[in-house]
Chain A
């Protein structure tokens, strides 16, 4: 009976006995599935801790536009003129945004509704970034496979699924362009490298579409349109010109350029802007190369060809320089815009464009940020570079160039660590995969040596040499095992670090703040949303709200009220007007506010909670930006001996400006900490200087429960009697 029972079981096991190739495929597919799920769930910390909501500032604009798109359809969205922001100027939304993200989310929403899943658009928006992060891991696998082999592809997928540099901008709730754009970036690069490797027009067409998706998703597409020509140039210089390269680059450039010009925000930049001229220059250079190659192929006499070569090259260079020179001199080809010029010259923004310099993400990167975001990848990166140089091919040259250029830019601006992350993960994966492969080969070869040594007993010399190998190999095997354990330890430390970083640093919604109370319990400050919903429910629908530009998107999205300036920062003078109003005395400020039809003023104040990203800490930037356009605002007026103070020793202009008054109104009576006098500002750590504040033209409308957001109403002018 037992024999009969075990028979079907062993038959079952035999039926599962797979060949090695199928076993390997099973392992690979299961690893990729697990990595896909891992990349998604590691980004869900904030959804689990707080709730499913949109984080930060920019995503609120994206959410609002997506909402508009799903409610009103594509035509209205593409031609939308938004009169609720930048009062009284308005904003042509259809022509000033990158629609890729919104269209992607709306498409997913439509598909889900078609399948009868009645999800709200907000849930789709919150989870778009993790979904695309999972897709990025798949693309990383295929890219690694293209550059090196499947092992490197798997390691690349694993590394990029948890890498903090990428997670920082793609957590659930971070509904921003980068979440989709990094996927598009890597996808375009993969398709282009595949096109160069195969020389097929179909892959080049696919890479042109990938480029189109990237252009629709993010302004960082300029990186692609400069890196690819640079890569082609390097290949040309190193003598790797080939027909495949010609087919790939030309098809991708022409079709990609045409597709990119369909996005209104990009417009004609591909033929008019200095940032895109490198691609065009390389395009013409490729034609010259092809022509010369063709003539060389047709001519049998090399001397004639040399003469022809000389003539053609001088003509081409002359024509190219003249055309470029004419274009730049006549102003037809615009020079590099400030945003990208500050990447080449990091000191440019500080002197010339204070708005760009004031954004915290645009500051140069510190070493600690690199270590924080990359961990072991930092030293695996040079190791991977070494392996790439050992086995140079078209694909490895590309990844080396991508890695080096993106690391340079990551050093210039913190925000660009995101762009470097895929390159670093791929190159590190090459190092890991090659090392592990060599070590396991060492481990396996010892067993083989023993077997062949025992069977081939006849040939003595061979046996003696194998015996010698056998003698040195025990140490080699132990060394290999030790190194493998070391690699395992490092990778597990990496995983732990990445998860810890994600949990602690990158999962905060920024709109909801959390802190530890006196008894260790968690205290949640939901003041922002409290204030925005108060605005939404207690003000007339056509009220205009003046605040610093940071909060503009959130006010329009959640408060549903018109704002004066918002995060788009397209009009520096308008922002400077608001900055001037905030830094003037109340009498001058009310004139400005009346001219802008302002009804409510919103300020953010962290003195009660110790919240340090409030308007008083940002105030100097308001002064600088306002002073940049209106010379009547001078920064030294607000400083004492070059020092920024808010206590009794502060400058008199500082103690009486509008921002100070609005932030510290009635704060002089407030007890914030035991043992400290009333009016103790916990964020600055001082007792404020001017406690007896009287407002003449404004009255307090609302202050949130923790005093973080304060809203004031502009009083109408007094009656004459």
Chain B
């Protein structure tokens, strides 16, 4: 009884999520695609580390953290650009993008220093 209803719940959940997601604007979907790519790259790096070993650790960390960093920054950009967020109504999207680019610049400079 419980299992069948939870399966129905899961199915209904999945469908409603899918239909709601299809309604999001295109620019947000592009950012989501970028986030998915970054996470996928991080996973590949972790699997590689599991196979080959973690030496040198700083290179592994810089690789994974660059993926995590770009994910996080892209999500922040998505939050700030999303017109449905009332808190960021006054923030022009150009400013949000400029902040995003600046943070990414700093992130990648540090990553390059840390790669060794």
Contacts and interface: CB of A to CB of B under 8 A. Distances in A.
Interface of A: 199-202, 204-205, 208, 242-244, 246-247, 250-251, 254-255, 257-259, 261-262, 268, 271, 290, 295, 297-301, 304, 307-308
Contacts of B111: 258
A199 B87 contact: yes
Given A251-B76, A299-B16, A304-B9, A199 B88 contact: yes
A299 B13 CA distance: 8
B99 A290 contact: no
Interface residues of B, number: 38
Interface in B54-96: 57-58, 61-62, 65, 68-69, 72-73, 75-77, 79-80, 84-85, 87-88, 91, 96
B30 interface: no
B110 A205 contact: no
Contact of A247 (B76, B107, B114): B76
B73 A251 contact: yes
Given A261-B61, A262-B114, A251 B16 contact: no
Interface string B1-44: 00000100100110011001100000000000000000000000
Contacts of B58: 261, 268
A235 to B, nearest CB: 14
A201 B107 contact: no
| The 3 A-B residue pairs with the shortest CB-CB distance in the complex, in nearest-first order | A201-B99, A298-B20, A250-B72
A199 B85 CA distance: 12
Nearest to B76: A247
Given A200-B91, A255-B110, 17 more contacts: A201-B77, A205-B99, A243-B87, A246-B79, A247-B79, A250-B75, A251-B72, A255-B69, A255-B106, A255-B107, A258-B110, A258-B111, A262-B110, A268-B57, A298-B16, A299-B17, A307-B9
* Chain B interface SS verdict (over half): helix
A201 B16 contact: no
A233 to B, nearest CB: 18
Contacts, number: 94
A257 B88 contact: no
A199 B75 CA distance: 13
B68 A201 contact: no
Given A250-B76, A295-B17, A304 B12 contact: yes
A307 B13 contact: yes
A683 B85 CA distance: 71
A85 B84 CA distance: 62
B69 A243 contact: no
A91 B88 CA distance: 52
Contacts of A243: 79, 85, 87-88
28 contacts: A199-B80, A199-B88, A200-B91, A201-B76, A201-B99, A201-B103, A202-B99, A205-B103, A243-B85, A244-B87, A250-B72, A251-B73, A254-B68, A254-B73, A255-B110, A258-B69, A258-B107, A258-B111, A258-B114, A261-B61, A268-B61, A297-B84, A298-B17, A298-B21, A299-B13, A301-B12, A301-B16, A307-B9
